[in-house]
Amino acid sequence: MPLNNLGEFGLIQKIKEQFSLNLPQSVEGIGDDCAIIPESDQSSLLVTTDMLIEDVHFLRSDILPQDLGYKSLAVNVSDIAAMGGVPQFAFLSLALPLNLDGAWLESFFSGFKDLASNTKIYLLGGDTNQSKNGIAINVTLLGRVENKFLKRRSEAKLGDIICVTDFLGDSAGGLKIILDKLPRSADALHLIKNHYRPQLNLQQGQWLSQHASVHAMMDVSDGIDSDLKRIMESSKCGVEIRIEDIPVTSVLKKFAKGHDFDFLQLALAGGEDYCLLLTVDPSAYEDLNNKFQLQFSRSLFPIGTIVEQELTYLQNGMPFKIKNNGFDHFKKADGHE
């Protein structure tokens, strides 16, 4: 079957079927934001890996090397945050064209270091190769979590309140500005910044994971339309989303109006927001949100409910259809994010 029929998630499912049999006891592999390798009764090692490829994930002519360095680590930190962990050790593998400038690399490392030192991550190794076709960057990140705080995608329960920890769509708005070469007003630069230097929710992830009322958690990397489906598959449930409650910044709304594009589409299916998507016991929601507000000076955004089956969007109670689905590497015609 050709890849574009199988899709990214179909392919991952095939890999999972072949390689997830007979894992050592309590080891959890493919299927969540990180693999889980228990170290003791108290704690587990979390492992995640993500790749950024020139002309698929970034345009070298547009992104600053320091932003690329930051982002290549950030997307991995977000996966550790999603499971409530503390990131610790990174491995960096690079495929680089021969003619790449030394100053470019210096800046790349300075961006990587910015985030590594802020989050106390140590770079312990990697691999370096020549590339004949553009830059490819792979980061593997290890973290640690107390077993009692670990959060998975698979723990959503019927009636749970679904929420996100931040506004959605700014990053996708930034990407649209880059790809469509829209004018770089102050608002546009703000959206692009969210695309290149996404705000991580590491403290939020660790804090939320310490609350038993938080059932399932993951990070938003492919757009909630796609990421909600991951929760549905893992937790064997359905999802009902209220479109009018999707948090969108006034900057994105204003920019979208001025350039005649649909901000909701970006907020639902754009991706690369790197905030957290979680499901919460409804009886504990108000208390959790009040405490979250005290801790982080902002509120959670409740956007829907866990139901028995299917993904349904409602706008003021009426069925709502979205135009495009979340990101799939093998389903978009131009292969870009």
Q: Is 225 in the site for ligand ADP (CB under 6 A)?
A: no
Distance from C-alpha of 248 to C-alpha of 266, rounded to nearest angstrom: 10
Reduce the DSSP state of residue 63 to 3 states and report it. Answer: coil
Give 79 or 160: the residue with its C-beta nearer to Mg ion: 79
Other beta carbons within 10 angstroms of residue 24's beta carbon come to 8
Task: Give the x-and-dash track for 298-317 against ligand ADP (CB under 6 A).
Answer: --------------------
Give 65 or 205: the residue with its C-beta nearer to Mg ion: 205
- Retrieve residue 304's tokens: 């829907």
Please name the residues in contact with 235: beta carbons below 8 A apart, sequence gap of 6 or more: 153, 154, 155, 156, 157, 216, 279, 306
Q: Is 32 in the site for ligand ADP (CB under 6 A)?
A: yes
CB 276 within 8 A of CB 208: yes
> Least CB distance from residue 115 to ligand ADP, whole Å?
17
Q: Is 27 in the site for ligand ADP (CB under 6 A)?
A: no
Q: Is 179 in the site for ligand ADP (CB under 6 A)?
A: no
Give 28 or 170: the residue with its C-beta nearer to ligand ADP: 28
Q: Which of 6, 12, 76, 16 is nearest to 46 (CA)?
A: 76
Give 17 or 244: the residue with its C-beta nearer to ligand ADP: 17
CB 145 within 8 A of CB 43: yes
* Options 24-32, 179-187, 237-245, 270-278: segment touching ligand ADP (CB under 6 A): 24-32
Residue 12 touches which of ligand ADP, Mg ion, none (Cβ within 5-8 Å per kind): ligand ADP
Distance from C-alpha of 174 to C-alpha of 132, rounded to nearest angstrom: 29
Task: Give the x-and-dash track for 185-224 against ligand ADP (CB under 6 A).
Answer: ------------------------------------x---
* Paired strand residues for 306: 239
* Options 26-34, 60-68, 108-116, 263-271: segment touching ligand ADP (CB under 6 A): 26-34
Reduce the DSSP state of residue 179 to 3 states and report it. Answer: helix
Give 83 or 177: the residue with its C-beta nearer to Mg ion: 83
Q: Is 79 in the site for ligand ADP (CB under 6 A)?
A: yes
Residue 225 touches which of ligand ADP, Mg ion, none (Cβ within 5-8 Å per kind): none
Q: Is 50 in the site for ligand ADP (CB under 6 A)?
A: yes
Give 12 or 59: the residue with its C-beta nearer to ligand ADP: 12
**Strand 86-96, strand 122-130: pairing:** parallel
> Least CB distance from residue 15 to ligand ADP, whole Å?
5
Amino acid in the structure at residue 254: K
Task: Detail the DSSP E strand segments found in 25-98.
Answer: 35-38, 43-53, 86-96
Q: What is the DSSP letter of 187?
A: H
Q: Is 30 in the site for ligand ADP (CB under 6 A)?
A: yes
Distance from C-alpha of 286 to C-alpha of 309, rounded to nearest angstrom: 25
CB 312 within 8 A of CB 252: no
Binding site for ligand ADP (CB under 6 A): 12, 15, 30-33, 50, 79, 221
